[in-house]
Amino acid sequence: MQEEIKKLEASIKGELSFVDSLDKLETFKLTHLVKKGTIQSLFERLKDVPKELKPETGKLLNQLKQFAESEYQNLKTKLDKTQETIVNIDLTLPGRRNFKGTFHPINQTLTKMVEIFVSMGFEIAEGPDIEDTYHNFDALNFPPDHPARDMQDTFFIEGEGNLLLRTHTSPVQIRVMQSQKPPIRCIMPGRVYRNEAISARSLAEFHQIEGLYINKKVTFAELKGTLIAFAKKMYGNDSKFRYRPSFFPFTEPSAELDISCFLCKGRGCRVCKYSGWLEIAGCGMVHPNVLLAGGIDPEEYTGYAFGFGIERVTMLKTGIDDIRLLYENDIRVLSQF
C-alpha cells in the first residue's frame, strides 16, 4: 500500500502543476479531497494493512492528505485574487500613457557637438566655473580698460578680490596650454555667466563649447576647413555659410561664422535681426600674447581657436525662436524633443 501512496502523491503533484483556473481546482478537489476521493479510499483500506506496517503507512497517508489540502488552499487563495483583479478592471476606461523621459534639448545639442569634434580628433578639457581675473582676462590679452571687465558684463564675487564667474570657457585654453605641450587639440564645453539683459536672444547664464588647436605651421585655412566640416555634419550639406571679419582680444586675425537662418529661411525674422543670417561661432588664429601666457613660443607654434554658443545652435536645430523657452521647464515645449 505504501507504493500506492507514493504513486498517488506523484500523480497529485503532476496534476497540481496544470491547475491554472478555479474550474480545474474544483475538479482536483472532487477527485482527491472529498469523502469518495482517492485519498479517503486509501484511509478505508488502512484496516487491511498488517499491524506492524500500519504506523508507517498511516503516517505517509496523513502527510499526503495534509500536502494535498495545503496546496489546494494556496492555489484557491491565489486564483481567487486573480479572479478579483480581473473582475475589477473597467475595460471602458481609456489607457494610461507611459511618459518616457528624454535629455534636455541643450544636453542633446551639446552631446551631438562633442561627438562630432571627438570624431575629428579633439579631446575634451574642463575647468572651474569660478575663475580669477588672470585666466579670464589678463592671459587672454584683454586690456585693463576693456569693457568686458566692467560689472555690466561680469559677475564678480563680492569680497573675494579677483574672483568671478567665468564669462567664457576660454580660461580653460590657458590652463590646457600651461599643463600640456603642443600639439594640442581639444574642446572645452561648459557653462558661462554674463551680466546681460534677458531677451529672446540672450541669457545671463548659458553654455559654450570652445576649441583649440596648436601645432607647428597651423593656418587659417585649417580653421576654416574644420568649422565648415563641423557645420555640415551638424546642419546638413545644403546649409549656407559665410565668414565675416571680426575682433577678439585673444585671436588675430579674427572672424565670425554665420549660417543662413533656419527659422525664416533667410527671409529675416526677429531672431536673426531680419538679416537672414545667424552667427554660430567666433574664431581666429591664437594671438601671440595668449600663446606666451600659456607658456608656448609663438615663434615656433601657431594655432587657432573657436567658440560656439550651445543655446544658439539648439535654437537653429529645433526651430525655437525664443531662447527663454529652453529654460522655462514647460513640458509642452520640452516634450517635443
Give per-residue pLDDT as tens, 75-91: 888 877 776 555 566 77
| pLDDT number for residue 152 | 61
| pLDDT number for residue 63 | 85
| pLDDT number for residue 15 | 81
| pLDDT number for residue 159 | 76
| pLDDT number for residue 111 | 93
For the residues 99-127, what does the mean pLDDT come to?
91
Rounded-to-integer distance, Cα 136 and Cα 189, Å? 15
289, pLDDT greater than 60: yes
**pTM beyond cutoff 0.75:** no
Retrieve residue 77's grid coordinates: 487563495
- CATH architecture label of 105-334: 2-Layer Sandwich (3.30)
For the residues 190-196, what does the mean pLDDT come to?
90
Give the position of cell 509642452: 332
Give per-residue pLDDT as tens, 13-64: 888 788 888 888 888 888 878 877 888 787 777 777 777 877 887 788 788 7
151, pLDDT greater than 90: no
For the residues 203-218, what does the mean pLDDT come to?
92
Report the run of H or E that residue 316 belongs to, with start and end. Answer: helix 310-318
For the residues 212-222, what does the mean pLDDT come to?
94
| pLDDT number for residue 84 | 57
Q: Residue 263 — very low, low, confident or very high, per pLDDT cuts 50/70/90?
A: low
**What φ, ψ does residue 13 adopt, rounded to 5°?**
-60, -40
| pLDDT number for residue 26 | 84
The b-or-e profile of 62-83 (16+ CB within 10 A means b, else e) is eebbeebeebbeebeeebeeee
**Which of 8-12, 188-192, 315-319 ranks highest by mean pLDDT?**
188-192
| pLDDT number for residue 256 | 92
Domain parsing of the chain, residue ranges: 2-88, 105-334
| pLDDT number for residue 271 | 65
> By mean pLDDT, which of 4-13, 68-77, 253-262, 295-304 is the weakest?
4-13
> By mean pLDDT, which of 22-36, 66-80, 159-173, 262-276 is the weakest?
262-276
| pLDDT number for residue 280 | 82
More confident residue, 189 or 17: 189
For the residues 254-258, what does the mean pLDDT come to?
91
CA max distance for the chain: 116
Give per-residue pLDDT as tens, 268-278: 776 677 788 87
Rounded-to-integer distance, Cα 121 and Cα 4, Å? 79
> By mean pLDDT, which of 178-187, 213-222, 309-318 is the weakest?
309-318
Residues in the chain: 337
For the residues 235-249, what does the mean pLDDT come to?
85
Rounded-to-integer distance, Cα 285 and Cα 303, Å? 6
For the residues 285-305, what does the mean pLDDT come to?
94
Neighbours of 1 (CB within 10 A): 16
